[in-house]
Amino acid sequence: MTRPVTSHDVARLVGVSQPTVSRALRDDPRVAEATRRRVRRAADALGYVPSTRGRSLSTRVTGQVGVVVSELANPFYMETIAHLYDALDRAGYRTVVLTEPPDRPFAPERLLDGALDGAILTTTLLESELPRALAQRGFPLVLLNRRIDALVCDTCVSANAAGAAAIGELLVELGHARVGALFGPADTSTGRDREAGFRQALAAHGVPLSAWRRGPFRFETGYRGLRELLAEAPTAVFCANDVIAVGALNAARACGVAVPRELTIVGFDDIEPASWELLALTTVRQPLPELCATDVELLLTRLGDPARPPRLVELPADPVLRGTHARA
């Protein structure tokens, strides 16, 4: 094990000063072309790699973007991170993952310590003070999938209410009159907007919501919730996301309820397992790759133009019909 090679070693080998080495490796025209060549040759020979830390202190650019999620062990956030990672990587940024446990509010200081050029928040609660606190301090950030009521920063969401309304219309058209729902948390825009859209669609056709529960966007919410709803004998159940729907499908299997012959179950998001033959989940597609690419574009624009007024971008969310729905 040897100590890492530094720019001082390169300077010593070439016989120039250390700042000249740094300038030469940045192709700074203040250094003669012949010297730049000698420095590059010496750096190659020694295996010297310029430090991003040294660079970041002089240019205030770390090349790192934070991605804040509430839980990693959730297929939806995992897929989100994968898409954000790809978009950030294409733009030359490193991804630093940060988690925000539901019970421990995220302190702005975790993002403001100088290691990040900006951040993408994916699990913001409606009442969160974090976006405002960060925006006030001039920290570049965008919200993904979630919004807060005041537009204090760039935000990209899908049409949650309209998508949930469309799947509600589908259940009505299929003749379902005993409809249940497993909604998401009311303190999230996704939970609130999907619930509102679904309720409005039923109400518009005079179909009552016979039984419903609210819970976190987790497998257990669907797995436990469906068992409770079964007591009310619904013929169709709307789940506020696919992870809840997967829990509900597994509970139906465990209880010997045949989907879709005895029970229709639909979700929201279109995560990857939704398209497996073993699930064949009818759901609402969130355009996740487009959401993530748009969010990264918003962040890059913000980094280049910090004074631009924040904007909200909404993308469409449409039903995907597979195998878990049937006529009542």
14-22, 110-118, 156-164, 314-322 -> range binding a copy of itself (CB under 8 A): 110-118
Residues 118-157 close enough to bind a copy of itself by CB under 8 A? 135-139
Among 105, 253, 262, 321, binds a copy of itself (CB under 8 A): 253
The closest of 111, 114, 91 to 100, measured between CA atoms, is 111
**128 neighbors 74 (Cβ within 8 angstroms):** no
Q: What is the DSSP string of 23-40?
A: HHHTT-TTS-HHHHHHHH
Instruction: Give the integer Cα–Cα distance in Å for 275 and 172.
Output: 24
- Tell me if 299 contacts a copy of itself by CB under 8 A: no
- Tell me if 98 contacts a copy of itself by CB under 8 A: yes
Q: Identify which of residues 140 and 197 has a Cβ nearer to a copy of itself in the complex.
A: 140
Q: Identify which of residues 83 and 199 has a Cβ nearer to a copy of itself in the complex.
A: 83
- Tell me if 262 contacts a copy of itself by CB under 8 A: no
- Tell me if 3 contacts a copy of itself by CB under 8 A: yes
Q: Identify which of residues 7 and 188 has a Cβ nearer to a copy of itself in the complex.
A: 7
At position 157, the amino acid (one-letter code) is: V
**118 neighbors 139 (Cβ within 8 angstroms):** yes
Residues 35-54 close enough to bind a copy of itself by CB under 8 A? 47, 49-54
Instruction: Give the integer Cα–Cα distance in Å for 173 and 129.
Output: 41
- Tell me if 4 contacts a copy of itself by CB under 8 A: yes
Cis peptide bond N-terminal to 260, omega within 30:
yes
Write the DSSP symbol of residue 260.
Answer: T
Q: Identify which of residues 54 and 208 has a Cβ nearer to a copy of itself in the complex.
A: 54
Among 103, 113, 127, 149, binds a copy of itself (CB under 8 A): 113
Give how far Cα 229 sits from Cα of 209, 213, 237, 279, 298, Å. 12, 8, 9, 20, 41
The closest of 321, 231, 314 to 270, measured between CA atoms, is 321
**Which H or E element spans position 173?**
helix 160-173
Q: Which two tokens stand for residue 96?
A: 């630093």
**237 neighbors 227 (Cβ within 8 angstroms):** no
Q: Which two tokens stand for residue 90?
A: 């294409």
Among 103, 127, 149, 277, binds a copy of itself (CB under 8 A): 277
Minimum gap (Å) between residue 202 Cβ and a copy of itself: 28
- Tell me if 257 contacts a copy of itself by CB under 8 A: no
- Tell me if 287 contacts a copy of itself by CB under 8 A: no
Q: Identify which of residues 197 and 216 has a Cβ nearer to a copy of itself in the complex.
A: 216
Q: Which two tokens stand for residue 78?
A: 């995992």
Among 72, 150, 233, 258, binds a copy of itself (CB under 8 A): 72
Minimum gap (Å) between residue 170 Cβ and a copy of itself: 23
The closest of 281, 284, 296, 205 to 248, measured between CA atoms, is 281
At position 117, the amino acid (one-letter code) is: D
21-29, 92-100, 159-167, 236-244 -> range binding a copy of itself (CB under 8 A): 92-100
Question: Given the rule CB under 8 A, which residues bind a copy of itself?
Answer: 1-4, 47, 49-54, 56-57, 62, 64, 72-73, 75, 78-79, 81-82, 85-86, 89, 94-99, 109, 112-115, 135-139, 246, 249-251, 253-254, 272-273, 276-279, 306-307
